[in-house]
Amino acid sequence: MKVARKIDGKAKAAKLTESITLETATLLEEHGIKPGLAVVIIGENPASQVYVRNKKRTAESCGFHSVQHSLADDVSEQDVLQLIDELNNDPAIHGILVQLPLPEHLDELTVTQAISTAKDVDGFHLVNIGKLTAGHMADTFVPCTPAGCMLMIEDEIGPDLSGKNAVVIGRSNIVGKPIAALLLQANATVTITHSRTKDLPRVVSGADIVVAAVGRPNMVKADWVKAGAIVIDVGINRVEQTIDGETKSRLTGDVDYDDVSTVAGAITPVPGGVGPMTITMLMANTLRSAQRAAGLDGE
């Protein structure tokens, strides 16, 4: 039985990180600029703490100036906005990231829109979202997860997706909508599906490219997937299972990996697929912002 190729996001991220590290050293040597990334984390969300640690470690390994601001769970919105304003005006900082989700008393839109568009390395500002949607890519920060997904798709099929049908499962502003915009720009025919889509398995089964970003463990099964399709699993779900009377938690994606591997042409695992690429694209965006600050186009 043929098994799908595993798309190794960890290996690809490591290779990209190597090139980012070299470019960072060159920028410092030739222009005296070290890319600066500031991460703001609010509260004690354990998953957020892990993500922030990983981002800080990767930034430091690339040779970045890395700053972390840890704020109390009950911090006022005014204090958060004041910190963002200070970072917007700090020439040593080229990228600002506020770790989501935020505590309930803080308005996500107000906080994310306070970040300068020139330092919005997460690509969440409405101006950057608008530029992405309109196809004005020269000075736009693309959200990190979709950007990483596209690189992995290009590795499998090439940059021109003409004639390919792509189905995106999920319509979030962080993944679903931006990946659809990127797929459209690469000439794919794109369908966005979601919880209200009728006969979802049938819609997915026509796709040459499937991007699953819905947050439901192992939802996509083999009988949903066209033979030879490229399957990108963005989901990160923690599920509990009991083995020998002991309950353990493990990470799984939105795709039933073992099942879908029997029909797909290539598939990303969870963990080790999209996750490492997301952090690497954050570094790439921060480097690009620093290159712009040096008067380079960063392309």
Domain 31-116 has CATH 3.40.50.10860: yes
Strand, coil or helix: what is 188?
Answer: coil
Say if CB 59 and CB 93 are below 8 A apart: no
Q: Taking the domain 144-274, which CATH number applies? A: 3.40.50.720
> Which residues of the chain are modeled with pLDDT < 50?
298-299
Say if CB 9 and CB 272 are below 8 A apart: yes
| Sequence ranges of the chain with CATH classification 3.40.50.720 | 144-274
244 token code pair: 């020998």
Q: Identify the pLDDT of residue 85.
A: 98
Distance from C-alpha of 195 to C-alpha of 198, rounded to nearest angstrom: 8
| Sequence ranges of the chain with CATH classification 3.40.50.10860 | 31-116
217 CA to centre of own chain: 18
Active site residues: 55, 99, 122
DSSP state of 220: B
Q: Identify the pLDDT of residue 1.
A: 66
- Predicted TM-score of the model (pTM): 0.94
Q: Identify the pLDDT of residue 21.
A: 98
Distance from C-alpha of 95 to C-alpha of 298, rounded to nearest angstrom: 14
Q: How buried is residue 47: exposed, middle or buried, by Cβ count under 10 Å (0-12/13-18/19+)?
A: exposed
